[in-house]
Structure 1
């Protein structure tokens, strides 16, 4: 079982233009304040970042940053939406919004909880 699977993540969509990954916050993902641990939210964003950045090339993270705006609680359904900001031959930067949604397919009016940006070093796949 992968790290993402052990946290309950599921890839809903994977394309070079938009990748969506979801998870539902459980009691094991809470911090000492009873809200979703920052590491859980970061892991969700990072998974969406990893999936989108490796679709067309072999990529490894070179830099990431995350800003947290609102808390999530147990039972909240979260979706990380990754989109490219700039994709070059050797570097690519992506934006990942983590949102709280009522249902996986209903992101209209969803609440932005965190914003992640990440840059990867990339190269063509071999073999």
Structure 2
């Protein structure tokens, strides 16, 4: 079982122009304040980032940043929506909004850059 599967992350859509991943906040994902742990939000955003950045290329993260705006609570369905900001030959930067629900408020904003290379042939 992968780390994402352990957290209950589900990929809802995977395309080079838009990738969506989701999870439901459970008691096991809470911090001392009773809200979703920041690492849980980061992991959700990072999974959407990993999926979108590896479509059509082999990619590895070189830099990420996450800003937190609002807390998530137990039972909240979180959706990470990843879109490309700029995709070049060797570097690509993606924006991931972590929302409460599909159209809900933005709880966190993730920006990440990957180093890209052509996919390997088996």
Give the TM-score taking structure 1 as reference length: 0.94
| Moved segments of 4+, more than 3 Å | none
Question: 2:46 and 2:120 mapped to 1: Cα distance?
Answer: 24
Q: Any residues of structure 2 matched to 1:26-37 within 5 Å, and which?
A: 26-37=26-37
Q: Any residues of structure 2 matched to 1:1-127 within 5 Å, and which?
A: 1-101=1-101, 107-108=102-103, 110-127=104-121
Give the TM-score taking structure 2 as reference length: 0.98
Secondary structure class of the residue paired with 1:61: strand
Question: CA offsets per residue over residues 22-54 of structure 1, 9 Å max, x none?
Answer: 000000000000000000000000000000000
Secondary structure class of the residue paired with 1:32: coil
The CA RMSD over aligned residues, in Å, is 0.5
Question: 2:91 and 2:39 mapped to 1: Cα distance?
Answer: 25
Deviation at 1:99, TM superposition (A): 0.1
Deviation at 1:126, TM superposition (A): 1.5
- Flag structure 2 segments of 5+ consecutive residues without an equivalent: none
Question: 1:65 and 1:27 mapped to 2: Cα distance?
Answer: 25
